[in-house]
A and B are shown apart, each in its own frame.
Chain A
Amino acid sequence: MADITIPERIPINLVVNGERRALELTPWTTLLDALRDRLELTGTKKGCDHGQCGACTVLVNGRRVNSCLTLAVMKDGAEITTIEGLAKDGALHPLQQAFIDHDAFQCGYCTPGQICSAAGLLAEGRARDADEIRELMSGNLCRCGAYPNIVAAIEQAMSRS
């Protein structure tokens, strides 16, 4: 019989949407699975699960990353912001409002990733016009093809931030 060692679960702490969460995880648990399956924050979506579609995008210490390619144990101590953490005091985040204003989705499955990615883009401060928004949002696919409206929504949020 093969010698199989099951590793201990590893205790970690995350600050998720401002709240400290203690978890014990197997090392192969991705941040995406930890958020969805352990913390029941299902706003973050699993699309391709290979870093190609961007649906799983969250902010780790303020930077946008693909949570499907991130091992949760490696982010011990980090601050995580998901789509559930963007609205403040009952008011939508300017990007959430802009996506509604511009009808920047159809099925909505990519939307949490699009909005978290756009929040990262705004924080980076590198996009100045529509061309640069398109280039710097290319890691987020929308199979409904809402791209023109997504760009318009981000331009609106950018002009008001």
Chain B
Amino acid sequence: MNNFQYSRASEVADALRLLDADPGAKLIAGGTNLIDLMKENVERPSRLIDISRLPLRDIEETADGGLRIGALVPNSDLAYHPLIEQRYPLLASAILAGASAQLRNMASVGGNLMQRTRCAYFYDTTTPCNKRSPGMGCSALDGLNRNHAILGTSTSCIATNPSDMSVALAALGALVHIAGRTGKRTIALTDFHRLPDDKPHLDTNLGSGEIITAIELPPQRFARNYRYLKIRDRLSYAFALVSVAAAVELEGNAISEARLALGGVAHKPWRTPEAEAALRGQAATPDHFGRAADLLLQGATARSHNGFKIELARRAVVRALIQATSTTPQSQARKKIA
């Protein structure tokens, strides 16, 4: 780990001032990803601004019946919060599918959105990586790319976003509240992360002088028919090869509203209006689920080792929708296929 200066912020305005004063500074909250990257010399901040004591730990109901979640709420506290368990079980399930109990105790909601890819070449400073060192080239394109993206890729980068929480937030239509020196703004979670194009060093649309203050969940909760299905190489404590957040509302056996987002397949949670539109008004049948999966995966392309992900994702979408529509029990601790 490199030597760095340490500052502790007590108000959001402090943190913004400190960020402005030192272009090499980084914010730290839980630190679970940043400290790891610093140990690998991938991140070398000149200063860490400790924001863990900022007053951003509340979970409050909004006027329209949604929830506003402070950016510093630990992942475990969010997953186990009674209002999340009751109203947004898709989000609770996705969070509990990620990381370990220790890491979930440490990691903040805002930090979860800011975590970086686990592409092995991004971590390995002896290999070229456009995300780590823009213009150096991408080692994954013709390397060991079994874990890599099949959607929204570019010739610069095929890394995936590793977050489970973000996939559920994308499906739920969450908003991200941001503060900067010039004021506050709010953007959709689906616009927060970006595709790599020719600037893969930028994971998100957060400005360099900005800070996430909260996540907002809209009133529509999908508390009955939902599924977060995560497919991975071992049954716990592993990143997704493919994950699916599926949520529907049913009238009888007909789908009146549908949400589908994929994780592990792109540089951001992958959600398309076409796939969801294809489900609305349809009967909840595997045929219709398959058609929605095909639409969601339209344009998927494989590299040498990750072609299996396309069919895996298609089957995972179908299974997640079958489970969501049949209210299959959802515990991430039960590993048998229901």
Q: Which residues of B contact A4 (CB under 8 A)?
A: 3
In B74-118, which residues have CB < 8 Å from any A CB?
A: 76, 80, 99-103, 105-106
Question: What sequence of 0s and 1s flags, for each residue 152-193 of chain B, a beta carbon within 8 Å of any chain A beta carbon?
Answer: 000000000000000000000000000000000000000000
B259: min CB distance to chain A, Å: 26
Closest to A121 in B: B101
A69 at interface by CB-CB < 8 Å: yes
CA distance A66 to B76 in the complex (A): 14
- 8 Å CB contact of B50 from A74, A124, A139: A74
Q: Which residues of B contact A71 (CB under 8 A)?
A: 6, 28, 31, 35, 48, 50
CA distance A131 to B4 in the complex (A): 43
Closest to A6 in B: B3
B13 at interface by CB-CB < 8 Å: no
Chain A interface helix/strand/loop/mixed: mixed
Given the interface contacts A28-B1, A51-B32, A51-B36, does A57 sit within 8 Å of B102 by beta carbon?
yes
- A27 with B48: CB separation less than 8 A: yes
Closest to B74 in A: A63
Question: What sequence of 0s and 1s flags, for each residue 45-66 of chain A, a beta carbon within 8 Å of any chain B beta carbon?
Answer: 0000111001001000001111
Q: Which residues of A contact B4 (CB under 8 A)?
A: 7, 27-28
CA distance A126 to B38 in the complex (A): 33
- 8 Å CB contact of A124 from B3, B101, B333: B101
- 8 Å CB contact of B102 from A49, A50, A66, A74: A66
Question: What sequence of 0s and 1s flags, for each residue 1-44 of chain A, a beta carbon within 8 Å of any chain B beta carbon?
Answer: 00011110010000000000000001110100000000000000
Q: Which residues of B contact A92 (CB under 8 A)?
A: none
In B31-47, which residues have CB < 8 Å from any A CB?
A: 31-32, 35-36, 38-39
Interface magnitude class on chain B: 20 to 34
A153: min CB distance to chain B, Å: 17
A103 at interface by CB-CB < 8 Å: no
B237 at interface by CB-CB < 8 Å: yes
In B4-52, which residues have CB < 8 Å from any A CB?
A: 4-6, 28, 31-32, 35-36, 38-39, 48, 50, 52
CA distance A137 to B106 in the complex (A): 15
Q: Which residues of A contact B99 (CB under 8 A)?
A: 139
- B6 with A131: CB separation less than 8 A: no
Q: Which residues of B contact A5 (CB under 8 A)?
A: 5
Given the interface contacts A7-B6, A27-B5, A28-B4, does A138 sit within 8 Å of B103 by beta carbon?
no
- 8 Å CB contact of A7 from B3, B31, B76: B3
Closest to B2 in A: A28
- A74 with B5: CB separation less than 8 A: no
A101 at interface by CB-CB < 8 Å: no
- B101 with A120: CB separation less than 8 A: yes
CA distance A135 to B4 in the complex (A): 37
Closest to A132 in B: B333
CA distance A6 to B80 in the complex (A): 42
- 8 Å CB contact of B100 from A49, A74, A138: A138
A73 at interface by CB-CB < 8 Å: yes
Of B102, B332, B334, B335, most buried by chain A (CB within 10 Å of CB) is B102
A87 at interface by CB-CB < 8 Å: no
CA distance A4 to B3 in the complex (A): 9
A70 at interface by CB-CB < 8 Å: yes
CA distance A121 to B335 in the complex (A): 20
Closest to A139 in B: B100
Q: Which residues of B contact A138 (CB under 8 A)?
A: 100-101, 236-237
Question: What sequence of 0s and 1s flags, for each residue 318-338 of chain B, a beta carbon within 8 Å of any chain A beta carbon?
Answer: 000000000000011111000
A136 at interface by CB-CB < 8 Å: yes
Given the interface contacts A7-B3, A126-B80, A134-B333, does A66 sit within 8 Å of B101 by beta carbon?
no
In A62-94, which residues have CB < 8 Å from any B CB?
A: 63-66, 69-71, 73-74
A117 at interface by CB-CB < 8 Å: yes
Q: Which residues of A contact B332 (CB under 8 A)?
A: 135
Q: List 15 A-B contacts (CB under 8 A).
A: A28-B2, A28-B4, A50-B39, A51-B102, A57-B102, A65-B102, A65-B105, A65-B106, A66-B32, A66-B103, A69-B103, A73-B50, A131-B334, A138-B101, A139-B102
Residues of B within 8 A of A (CB): 1-6, 28, 31-32, 35-36, 38-39, 48, 50, 52, 76, 80, 99-103, 105-106, 236-237, 331-335
Residues of A within 8 A of B (CB): 4-7, 10, 26-28, 30, 49-51, 54, 57, 63-66, 69-71, 73-74, 117, 120-121, 124, 126, 131-132, 134-140
- Across the A-B interface, give the 6 residue pairs with the lowest CB-CB distance, nearest first: A139-B100, A27-B6, A138-B236, A135-B333, A138-B237, A132-B333
